[in-house]
Amino acid sequence: MITAIKRIFRAGFVGFWRNAFVSAAAIFVMTVALFVIGATMMLDTLLGVSLENIQAKVDINVYFVTSAEQTEIDALQRSLEALPDVAEVVFTSREQALAEFSERHQNDEIIMQGLEELGDNPLGASLSIRAKETSQYEGIAAFLKEQQAVEDPSAPLIDEVNFVKNKEAIEKLTAIIGAVEKSTFIAMIVLVAASILITFNTIRLAIYTTREEISVMRLVGASNMFIRGPFMLQGIMYGIAAGVLALLVLYPIVLWIGPETEEFFQFNLFNYFVSDFAYIFTVLVGSGIVLGMISSMLAVARYLRV
């Protein structure tokens, strides 16, 4: 067994270097295929982060009457935080709301003069509610509507819920997220399928040059595994080399566009490439190994019939 394995490895390495031109062509095609997979991963990550950033800016705001008791506000906040659809609830006090409002309108003399004439804080406290998914805001709004329905009309707590104003934007964002996720998945499947077909045909062409040698080995009694082994090893070598080359091609590209993505998307693609390099390396090189090994195994199968 050990002798057979040694012969398979020796034959695989010899075949790889003996057919250097064919090996280079197979590696080049696989590099392109793996580069496409890697670029699709980068694009998918960038789109995911962009959608998360947009999603984080969408929320429901609950405005309380100025006479609302802090204990009642805290109770409602705890109820909201207990909902499984809620990701975060941020409380803004009356004082904070007035300070933020004054800062935004500090250059508007009429508004600032009006605040001084009032002499009292006209703004109530508020809660900013962010859901885990945009599709979950409807349920949160329904919960708030139920809370308003059970309030004492003579001593209301909630003054306004702005879900109706944001509903159209939330629905559009939900539709956009769904469409982007579907289109990205379909594009990745198509690109991966095309890469597999191109790689398979390239490796099959490489094995075609040794078809007579395979037929002779089969006629003299060599086992299928002994014949298939060297080609599978060559396929693995193609995959490793192509995976490393794809990473080397990706590196300068993400280094170049990293600052641009940080400025536009608030996400540095190069930093992601460096921090998750082990994962990206595993995916690309692992995909190359699997792709090369399976393609070689299938391509040589037709020549094992005598």
State the CATH number of the domain containing residue 129: 3.30.70.3040
Give the C-alpha separation, 95 to 216, whole Å: 89
Query: Token pair 């080995």 is at which residue?
Result: 217
Domain end residue (candidates: 103, 133, 163): 163
Question: Do residue 136 and residue 275 come from a single domain?
Answer: no
Number of Cβ within 10 Å of residue 57's Cβ equals: 9
Q: Given the structure tokens 């900013």, which residue do they identify?
A: 128
Residue 196 and residue 108 share a domain: no
Q: What is the per-residue pLDDT across 185-221, written as a single tens digit (0 to 9) for each? A: 787 777 667 767 776 777 677 667 666 776 777 677 6
CB count within 10 Å of CB 208 equals 14
Residue range of the domain that includes 224: 2-54+174-304
Q: Looking at the domain assignment, is residue 151 inside a domain? A: yes
Distance CA 154, CA 13 (A): 87
Q: How far is CA 235 from the centre of its chain?
A: 29
Q: Are residues 78 and 158 in the same domain?
A: yes
Predicted local distance difference test score (pLDDT) of residue 282: 93
Do 42 and 179 sit in the same domain of this protein? Answer: yes
Same domain? For 38 and 141 the reply is no
pLDDT at residue 306 is higher than 60:
no
Q: Check residue 246 and give its pLDDT.
A: 92
What does the pLDDT read at residue 222? 66
Mark whether 50 and 110 lie in a shared domain. Answer: no
Is residue 248 over pLDDT 90?
yes
168 found inside a domain: no
For residues 143 and 80, the answer to whether their CB atoms sit within 8 Å is: yes
- Distance of alpha carbon 217 from alpha carbon 239, whole angstroms: 26
Note whether 123 and 100 are same-domain residues.
Answer: yes
Report the distance separating Cα 297 and Cα 99, nearest Å. 70
Q: Write down which residue in 115, 143, 163 finishes a domain.
A: 163
**pLDDT tens digits along 125-181:** 889 888 887 778 888 888 888 888 888 777 788 888 887 666 666 667 667 767 777
Count the domains in the chain. 2
> Are residues 237 and 142 part of one domain?
no
Asked if the model's pLDDT at residue 255 lies above 70, the reply is yes
Higher pLDDT, 164 or 184: 184
Q: Is there a domain that residue 169 lies in?
A: no
Residue-level pLDDT at 138: 82
Q: Which of 163, 189, 209 is the last residue of a domain?
A: 163
- 283 with 265, same domain? yes
DSSP E strands, 10-124: 60-64, 86-92
Residue with tokens 């394995």: 5
Which whole-number Å values give the CA distances from 80 to 2, 75, 77, 89, 305, in the listed order? 66, 9, 5, 7, 68
| Residue 178 and residue 36 share a domain | yes
pLDDT digits (tens, 9 = 90+) for 265-278: 778 888 889 999 99
178 and 49 share a domain? yes
Looking at residue 34, its pLDDT comes to: 86
Chain centre to alpha carbon of residue 109: 47
Residue 77, judged by CB atoms within 10 A of its CB (0-12, 13-18, 19+), counts as: middle
Domain co-membership, 133 together with 271: no
Residue 76 forms part of a structural domain = yes
